[in-house]
């Protein structure tokens, strides 16, 4: 049986998954003395290219707008919590129109189930719709309970968070997308050369010294195909060919994710 390392569509991996895959590959080569001895030059080239990819991803996370975003997010969370607590307080009334208004607003809160610890864009979208309701169909209840200052300030903070997130995405796109794609292409080229050389040795490896490394790499490839690329659960049997990488650098990602 041909015991070689199978192929994987590297360009389809999102940035975070691509980074993790290459990091795991480098660590796997470095801890396997047999494989490491076969590809010293290829390993050095892969590590060098990977360092550039690492720097590109780090730059995307060092945007100066991150702190203002966190501050705006904290403000809106505070206004939302204050609004929620105020409505809860009115629920303690024994009866009357104020209690009726509070019940309507509390049900509205319960319907949305907003989590202030949710991913930033998700919370922003939920709060946008939530605030629209408070300024529209629930405006009378908000005014009746004197909660308009909470709602107005919540809207201001949420709008500011949205604007800052958009600006950060624009900045990151302008600064890092092209650089990341270029870095990924270089990493993919170095990876293919390393794997191709390992496979060349593996086809002549009658003693099976490379088998543990090959099996471990194939298990890694299979896991990424299943869990990241959502491909059918089958063993990777097609060997890597020393061909240039495909055009493109995979999906771009928000720094809040992966």
Q: What is the pLDDT of residue 258?
A: 27
Output the pLDDT for position 154.
Answer: 97
Tokens 């204050």, located at residue: 82
Site of tokens 């990341």: 180
Write out the DSSP string of 204-241: T-TT-TTHHHHHHHHHHHHHHHHHTS---S----SBPP
pLDDT (0 to 100) of residue 165: 87
**3-state secondary structure (DSSP) of residue 239:** strand
Question: Can you give the pLDDT at residue 251?
Answer: 39
Dihedral sign for Cα atoms in the order 69, 111, 80, 152 = positive
pLDDT digits (tens, 9 = 90+) for 118-143: 888 899 999 999 999 999 999 999 99
Phi and psi at residue 159, in whole multiples of 5°?
A: -65, -40
pTM exceeds 0.95, yes or no: no
Q: What is the pLDDT of residue 173?
A: 62
The pair phi, psi for residue 20, each rounded to 5°, is -65, -40
pLDDT tens-digit readout, 144-171: 999 999 999 999 999 999 999 888 777 6
Instruction: Give residue 15's pLDDT.
Output: 86
- Block residue for tokens 């896991």: 223
Distances (CA, A) of 132 to 107, 108, 126, 154, 255: 16, 12, 10, 11, 28
For the chain, the first-to-last Cα distance in angstroms comes to 37
The whole-angstrom separation of Cα 144 and Cα 245 is 64
Q: Which residues of the chain have pLDDT under 70?
A: 1-2, 59-63, 171-176, 233-258
């Amino acid at each position: 049986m041909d015991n070689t390392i199978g192929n994987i569509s590297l360009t389809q991996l999102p940035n975070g998954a691509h980074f993790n895959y290459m990091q795991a590959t480098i660590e796997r080569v470095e801890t396997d003395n047999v494989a490491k001895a076969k590809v010293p030059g290829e390993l050095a080239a892969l590590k060098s290219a990977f360092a550039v990819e690492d720097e590109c991803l780090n730059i995307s996370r060092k945007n100066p707008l991150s702190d203002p975003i966190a501050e705006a997010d904290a403000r809106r969370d505070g206004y939302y919590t204050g609004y929620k607590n105020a409505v809860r307080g009115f629920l303690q009334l024994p009866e009357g129109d104020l209690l009726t208004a509070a019940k309507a607003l509390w049900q509205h809160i319960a319907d949305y189930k907003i989590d202030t610890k949710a991913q930033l864009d998700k919370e922003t979208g939920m709060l946008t719709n939530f605030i629209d309701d408070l300024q529209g169909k629930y405006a009378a209840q908000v005014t009746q309970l004197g909660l308009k200052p909470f709602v107005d300030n919540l809207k201001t903070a949420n709008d500011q968070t949205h604007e800052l997130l958009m600006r950060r995405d624009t900045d990151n796109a302008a600064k890092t997308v092209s650089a990341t794609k270029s870095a990924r292409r270089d990493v993919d080229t170095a990876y293919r050369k390393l794997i191709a050389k390992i496979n060349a040795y593996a086809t002549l490896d009658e003693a099976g010294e490379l088998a543990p490394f090959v099996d471990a790499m194939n298990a890694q490839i299979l896991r990424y195909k299943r869990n990241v690329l959502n491909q059918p659960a089958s063993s990777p049997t097609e060997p890597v060919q020393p061909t240039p990488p495909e055009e493109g650098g995979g999906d771009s990602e928000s720094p809040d994710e992966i």
